[in-house]
Amino acid sequence: MMPFAEIVREALSSQAAAKQRTILALIGIVIGIGSVIALVTVGQMVQLTSLQQFQQMGTNIITVQRGWGDKGGGNAKQQGPSQHMTWGDAEDLKANVSGLEMVAPYTSTWGQPLYTDRPLDMPVMGVTRSFADINKLEVLKGRFISDLDGYSFFGVLGAGAAQKLAKLGVADPVGKTVFFKKRGFKIVGVLKRTAEGGMRPYEINPGMMIPVRTSYLFKRERNVNEIMARLAPNADRHLVIKAVKRYFKQRHPGMLTQVRSAEQLIAEMAKQSQLFTLLLGAIGSISLLVGGIGVMNVMLVAVTERRKEIGIRRALGAEQIDIQAQFLVESVILCLAGGLIGIALGVGAAYVLSKVNGWIFFVSGWGLALGVGVSSAIGVFFGYFPARQASRLNPILALRDE
Amino acid sequence: MILVMNIIELKGITKTYHIGDMAVDVLKGVDLSVETGELLAIMGESGGGKSTLMNIIGFLDSPSGGAYHFEDQDASHLTDNQLAHIRNQKIGFVFQQFNLLPRLSALDNVSLPLVYRGVERSQRTEIASEMLKRVGMADRMTHRPPELSGGQQQRVAIARALSGKPTIILADEPTGALDSQVSQEIMEIFLKLNQDQKITTVMVTHDPKVGQQCRRTVRMSDGRLAEV
């Protein structure tokens, strides 16, 4: 039998000879591998990016919200507004549930903040000092809300909110006044931009934070939107979550309480991205199947076109296995070339997406190996039949072919 | 070795092709012996079974009946791989249409039988260039067949047939596609190889001028051979 290096050399030169057809055959493989690589890479980047956000905040955070299931909704209607988490619930929570180190309830207040007479379209949250600790907020200028602020009309702007004011010509908002509900709020601080996602409320960057007591001046009920809490070191997450649920069940029988932990969210995300990857894998597989059939077609045409060559090689002493290996290697090289181009395009697309969306750019070696492996496998699978056909040609008939 | 032996010994060789329900007897009992160092011409009209006989002698086809001894060994029933192996080791083919691979240089074409023998590249190149020199193509080694004239291509094809140091050269109408002057040049190469290097050659031709120059001529007609 012919040495393997020779087979590869022959295959390369045959491919180079049939450039146009080669390129056409490659398109399916390029698209298939390219999309799989791009999508898998994007999935991994999104996961990594959100994981990092969690890590920044710490994974020992839980959030407590009123659930919105049928039961909670129905009871809320029946029993009225008392079926909400209240400021009192939050204040007593730490004393009643062991294993909580810090509790940060926050409120949302509807309304349109104004600078002079310009609408700012920013959410307004009532927060405590602990909100900054739990969310790891960093102050760029001035200070955060303090628990000593009481009912004062102070506001702290998120990075996005500050940018909005900057567009209105306010370079340094600290000391300026933003009007909300016909009251003037003196801006006492501006935050650095925080990474979005994870457990952080989305309102931080675009919003204005005011003392939680002040926010109650505009509300009939002293409700809270969500309670964020940090677990004490060594606290058992499952026990704490159970205790929190029990605590709310006692205070609001019939209200559904939803407790979420960072770890739980991460697990959910992993599950989601798994599903996503599976789905995209299926789409990629279909394009690869189509591409593979294209390659098979090209190889069948090549076998027909090169009957004479096959006959000559057989006359000079090539065994069937030599001919089969030659066409199989050609098919694999074809698919591998398509795969490599696809990988390059897929990684390129993922890079562009990561830059546009601010994800961490990351390409896993596992994904690349998969791309290379899958494209070679397609070459073998779809090249096998044409190669076998080539090897079984009758040398005399093949030689006689013009 | 002065021992003269028969390289080829055919006895009652028949070949029947089945086309649909019809059976066509192309060879009807061919007897032929070829001795070492012979230069034999097989002549006859087209369709007489010359090419079929050459294919059987060259192990490209198997006979339907009869006995074929090659170098004193029974060669009637061989597997596909064994046939390929004998073609590679023992036979040098020269075809009417040259049958060079158009993508490969003259040198690579000549090397091809050695590739299937697993000979190393440097050694292949050495042998192939030696063979090309022998047929007067030393200055065209890197040319590809489409860049060569018919006569030049046939010289490359002869070099290819020689590169494997075969026991016998089988030439099927080697001058059939060439004009008479070039035909004579090619014929002289065959004569010279036979005289100087005692290379056994069997040639199929319908050209009497080619046949006359061979030391022995047999005529094929209606599936049978007759000495001339």
What is the pLDDT tens value at each position of chain B, 228 positions in all? Answer: 445 578 999 999 999 988 888 999 999 999 999 999 999 999 988 778 898 999 999 999 889 999 999 998 898 778 999 999 999 999 999 999 999 999 999 999 999 999 999 999 999 999 999 999 999 999 999 999 999 999 999 999 999 999 999 999 999 999 988 998 999 999 999 999 999 989 999 999 988 888 899 989 999 988 899 887
Whether B94 contacts B157, CB under 8 Å: yes
Q: In what order do the strands lie in the sheet with B91-94?
A: B91-94, B168-172, B200-204, B39-43, B216-221, B224-227
Residues whose CB is less than 8 angstroms from the CB of residue B6 and which lie 6 or more positions away in sequence, other chains included: B33, B34, B35, B36, B69, B72
Report CB contact under 8 Å: B84, A399. no
Q: Residue B99: which of A3, A312, A318 has the nearest Cβ?
A: A312
Which amino acid belongs to residue B173? E
10 Å Cβ neighbour count for A320? 17
Q: Residue A312: which of B101, B117, B118 has the nearest Cβ?
A: B101
The secondary structure element, H or E, covering residue A51 is helix A19-57
- Please, what is the average pLDDT of chain A? 87
H helices present in chain B, as ranges? 50-57, 80-90, 106-115, 121-134, 150-163, 180-197, 208-213
**pLDDT tens, position by position, A310-338:** 999 999 999 999 999 999 999 999 899 99
pLDDT score for A11? 78
| Best mutation target, A316, A322, A326, A388, to test chain B (most B CBs within 10 A) | A316
pLDDT score for A123? 94
pLDDT score for A18? 65
Confidence of residue A81 (pLDDT cuts 50, 70, 90): very low
CA distance A164 to A166: 5
Beta carbon pairs, A and B, within 8 Å: 62
**Which stretch of A15-24, A379-388, B15-24, B122-131 has the lowest confidence by average pLDDT?**
A15-24
pLDDT score for A72? 43
**pLDDT tens, position by position, A209-235:** 999 999 999 988 888 999 999 999 888
| Best mutation target, B57, B87, B120, to test chain A (most A CBs within 10 A) | B87
Choice between A56 and A16, residue whose per-residue pLDDT is larger: A56
We find that the CATH architecture of domain B38-63+80-227 is 3-Layer(aba) Sandwich (3.40)
**pLDDT tens, position by position, A250-303:** 988 888 888 988 888 878 777 877 787 777 778 778 888 888 988 898 899 889
Tokens of B87: 């073609």
pLDDT score for B152? 95
Q: In what order do the strands lie in the sheet with B65-70?
A: B22-35, B6-19, B65-70, B73-74
Please state the ipTM of this predicted complex: 0.93
Contact list in A for residue B177 (CB cut-off 8 A) is none
Tokens of A46: 């999104």
pLDDT score for A79? 47
Say if residue A303 is exposed, middle or buried (CB neighbours under 10 Å; 0-12, 13-18, 19+): buried
The three-state secondary structure class of A61 is strand
> In this complex, is the C-beta atom of A1 within 8 Å of any C-beta atom belonging to chain B?
yes
Question: What is the DSSP code string of A27-38?
Answer: HHHHHHHHHHHH
pLDDT score for A75? 47
**pLDDT tens, position by position, A143-182:** 999 999 989 999 999 999 999 999 999 989 999 999 999 9
Beta bridge partners of B14: B28, B65
Rg, chain B, Cα only = 17
> In this complex, is the C-beta atom of A349 within 8 Å of any C-beta atom belonging to chain B?
no
| Best mutation target, B116, B119, B162, B169, to test chain A (most A CBs within 10 A) | B116
Boundaries of every domain in chain B: 38-63+80-227
Whether A68 contacts A256, CB under 8 Å: yes
Confidence of residue A1 (pLDDT cuts 50, 70, 90): low
Entry pTM: 0.71
Calculate how close chain B gets to A299, using CA atoms only, in Å: 18
Q: Residue A322: which of B87, B113, B116 has the nearest Cβ?
A: B116
The answer on pLDDT for A76 being more than 70 is no
